[in-house]
Structure 1
Amino acid sequence: MAEVKTVARPYAKAAFEVASEQGSVAQWANMLDILADATKQPKLAAALQNPAFSAQEKASALAQVCEEAVTEQGKAYLLSLAENKRLLLLPAIAELFTQFKLNFEKAVDVNVTSAFPLSTEQEQALAASLSKKLDREVNLTSVTDAALIGGVIIRTGDLIIDGSVRGKIAKLAEAINS
């Protein structure tokens, strides 16, 4: 996976630079998300890999499938990706673009998995605490998983805070076994 992101990073960075210069970061993020979803469709992915089609045909076909979201610059971007045989990198490009966008906006997406549903007050308190710790605006998404027994697991980017009972039991078992 690291190789895909390494190859996709310059394309995402270039798209982000163009989008930020134009003040259309949100529009580009939306467009890239839609294009990424389209390339995940098996039939379209197969067509994009088919050497019988030219780069122009592939870029045009993808632009037509997503025509409501694709701008003129987006079409040029797709053609560039197609010429370099990078259209199937769109999911990774969209993901990296979103990371650039969140970093630019000083925001971060945080996923919280808890053993029991969190109240609105608990979510707000957790978001405020994480916002202070991470020095960013926090976009909190909460999910319930009874298998945790108790506590929460917080994930954002490569940071994982495991405060679950299940995680503590696993650490204890590992310490006992070693």
Structure 2
Amino acid sequence: MAELNTVARPYTKAAFEYALEQGSLDQWSEVLATASAVAQDATMKQVIGNPGLTSTQKADALISVLEENIDEGSKNFVSLLAENQRLLLLPEISAQFEQLKANQQKSVAIDVTTAFDLDEQQQQKLAQALGTKLGREVSLTTQVDKSILGGVVIRADDLVIDGSVRARIAKLAEAMNS
């Protein structure tokens, strides 16, 4: 996983800087997300991995699927990835691009897991508190997992705050067994 991050980083940085310069972060974000989904398709993986096809043919196959949403800069980027045999990095490039975009726009996507549904007011208070703590605009996604028993588990990029009852019980059990 770390190797994919390392290999994808220069491509992501180049795409991001170009998109930022062109003022088309949202368009590039959409193109990369779509290209990522297409590159993960089983049929497209066979095309990309086919040693009998040239890099131009592989790029053209991917570009033909993306034809409606893709501009000249994006076509050149896909061609460059194909030429360097890096088309399978598209999912990682897309993920890194989204992270750079969120940092640029001072926003963060946070996933909150609770034992019970949060009403709208609770979600707003939590988003506001997290936004203040992180110094960013917060986009909250909630899900219910009754196995945590109570409390919340908050995930934002590499930050995890586990305030669940299940985690506290596990910590107590560990302390008692020591």
Q: What is the TM-score normalised by the length of structure 2?
A: 0.98
1:124 corresponds to: 124
In structure 2, what is the Cα distance between the partners aligned to 1:66 and 1:177?
A: 57
Query: Deviations for 1:101-132, whole angstroms, at most 9, x for unmatched residues?
Result: 00000000100000000010000000000000
Matched, 1:23 2:23: yes
CA RMSD of aligned residues (A): 0.7
Return the letter of the residue paired with 1:98. E
Following superposition, the deviation at residue 176 of structure 1 comes to: 1.8
Following superposition, the deviation at residue 177 of structure 1 comes to: 2.0
Return the letter of the residue paired with 2:176. I
Moved >3 Å (runs of 4+): none
Of stretches 1-10 and 85-94 in structure 1, the one that deviates more from structure 2 is: 1-10
Following superposition of structure 1 onto structure 2, how do residues 1-178 of structure 1 map, counting pairs within 5 Å?
A: 1-178=1-178
Q: Percent identity?
A: 51
Return the letter of the residue paired with 1:34. T
Return the letter of the residue paired with 2:140. L
Return the letter of the residue paired with 1:168. R
In structure 2, what is the Cα distance between the partners aligned to 1:110 and 1:161?
A: 11
Question: Mind listing any 5+ residue stretches in structure 2 that lack a counterpart?
Answer: none
Return the letter of the residue paired with 1:166. R
In structure 2, what is the Cα distance between the partners aligned to 1:171 and 1:63?
A: 51
Question: Mind listing any 5+ residue stretches in structure 1 that lack a counterpart?
Answer: none
Q: Across the two proteins, how many residue pairs are aligned to each other? A: 178
